[in-house]
Amino acid sequence: MPQTKRASQQELEIFTTRLRESAGDNLISLMLYGSAASGEADNYSDLNLLCVLRDLSFLHLVPLSKVIRWWTRQKQRPPLLMSEKELRASTDVFSIELIDMKQHHKVLFGKDLLAELEIPMRSHRAQLEYELREKLILLRQRLLAAAEDEGRILDLLLHSVPAFITLFRHVLIAQGRTPPVTRSETLKMLILHSGTDAELFQQLLEARKDPKAEKRLAVKEAARQYLAFAERLTEMVDGLPNSR
């Protein structure tokens, strides 16, 4: 089952207020990004926050510890902490993450630094292949450890599917296409242009929303199809030219 929980609007407002009080003038911006910002959050979704500070030295981080502890006690992940300079300098190495954050975010306080971010694409394909291969290797290891337990296998598939669909979106980007906003439409476009069937991923998305849909999945066959599809997409990316 999910390790984090959906935060209420009230909890998010409390966190924003307490963070502003704790950080004072050091806080430049607080932004919500990911599925909670795009409207696709489900029972397994994390709440993702980006906190941009003027000074990230230890003495300036200590005053934030109390509010961050409160937030994690609500079963939420701590926010990403970056400076404005660091955010801009990271665009070449975090192109996948920042493209998605730029597309799906909401400003909770301060400047909209993501909207004005310029993201170079020269390293995008290489980063995409790295991310796909890394996730494949980790997923194989975890599936092997859970091979005799269908409940654990299903849990691994359900937790990992959004990350893989995010990378599938970037396969389309690496092909020079503009992917749709939603996960479901992304999968439809991927089927159209890759010549492979991603219906399993649609089923997993449905199972994340409706526990009854889990019972319709043949778990070990789903794991086989999942790995095979991700492997084919990885090899496809390996054959693409680097972005210009």
Q: Is the predicted pLDDT of residue 74 greater than 80, yes or no?
A: yes
Final residue of a structural domain among 79, 110, 141: 110
Residue 2: per-residue pLDDT: 47
Q: 13 near 180, Cβ under 8 Å?
A: no
Same domain, 227 and 131: yes
Residue 244 belongs to some domain of the structure = no
Residue 3 belongs to some domain of the structure = no
pLDDT (tens digit, 9 = 90+) per residue, 129-174? 999 999 999 999 999 999 999 999 999 999 999 999 999 999 999 9
Q: What burial letters (b/e) apply to 136-146, b meaning 16+ CB within 10 Å?
A: beebeebbeeb
Same domain, 130 and 232: yes
Residue corresponding to tokens 């200590």: 62
Final residue of a structural domain among 47, 80, 110: 110
For the chain, the domain total comes to 2
Same domain, 81 and 152: no
Same domain, 162 and 84: no
Same domain, 130 and 234: yes
Same domain, 233 and 134: yes
Tell me the pairing of strands 105-110 and 80-83. Answer: unpaired
For residue 128, the enclosing domain spans 124-238
